[in-house]
Amino acid sequence: MIPRSAAIPKTPSWQRQMARSFTRLSTLLEWLDIDRQKLPFECDDSSSFPLRVTLDFASRMRNGDAGDPLLQQVLPLQQESAVVDGYSQDPVGDMNAAVSQGVFQKYNGRALLITTAACAIHCRYCFRRHFPYQQQHLEQQLCDQTLEKLNVPDISEIILSGGDPLTLNDQRLAQLLLQLKQLPYLKRLRIHTRMPVILPSRVTPELVEMLRTFPLPVTIVLHINHPNELDKRVATVLHQLRHSGTHILNQAVLLKGINDSSGVLKELCEKSFDMGVLPYYVHQLDKVHGSAHFQVSRERTLELEEQLRKTLPGYLLPRFVTEIAGENSKVPINLFNH
Ligand X SMILES: *Cc1c(COP(=O)(O)O)cnc(C)c1O
CB of 249 to ligand X, least distance (A): 9
- What is the closest distance, in whole angstroms, from the C-beta atom of residue 121 to ligand SF4 in the complex? 5
Helices (H), the chain: 4-7, 13-19, 25-31, 55-58, 133-136, 144-150, 170-180, 195-198, 205-212, 232-243, 262-274, 298-311
State how far the alpha carbon of 289 is from the alpha carbons of 83, 125, 204, in Å: 7, 9, 36
The span of 103-111, 143-151, 181-189, 297-305 binding ligand X (CB under 6 A) equals: 103-111
CB of 122 to ligand SF4, least distance (A): 5
Interface map 109-148 toward ligand X (x if CB under 6 A): -x-x------------------------------------
119 interacts with ligand SF4 by CB under 6 A:
yes
Chain positions 123 to 142 lying near ligand SF4, rule: CB under 6 A, are 123, 126, 128
How buried is 286 (Cβ within 10 angstroms: 0-12 exposed, 13-18 middle, 19+ buried)? Answer: buried
From 121-129, 210-218, 256-264, 314-322, give the range in contact with ligand SF4 by CB under 6 A. Answer: 121-129
Nearer to ligand X, 60 or 129 (CB): 129
For 200-229, b/e burial (b = at least 16 CB within 10 A) is: bbbbbeebbebbeebeeebbbbbbbbbbbb
Q: Which stretch binds ligand SF4 (CB under 6 A): 62-70, 158-166, 271-279, 323-331?
A: 158-166
Instruction: Report whether 121 contacts 54 (CB < 8 A).
Output: yes
Query: In 10 A of CB 175, how many CB atoms?
Result: 15
* Residue nearer to ligand SF4 on the CB measure, 106 or 122: 122
Asked whether position 164 contacts ligand SF4 by CB under 6 A, the answer is yes
Q: Is 107 in the site for ligand X (CB under 6 A)?
A: yes
Contact positions toward ligand SF4, by CB under 6 A?
A: 119, 121-123, 126, 128, 162-164, 194, 223
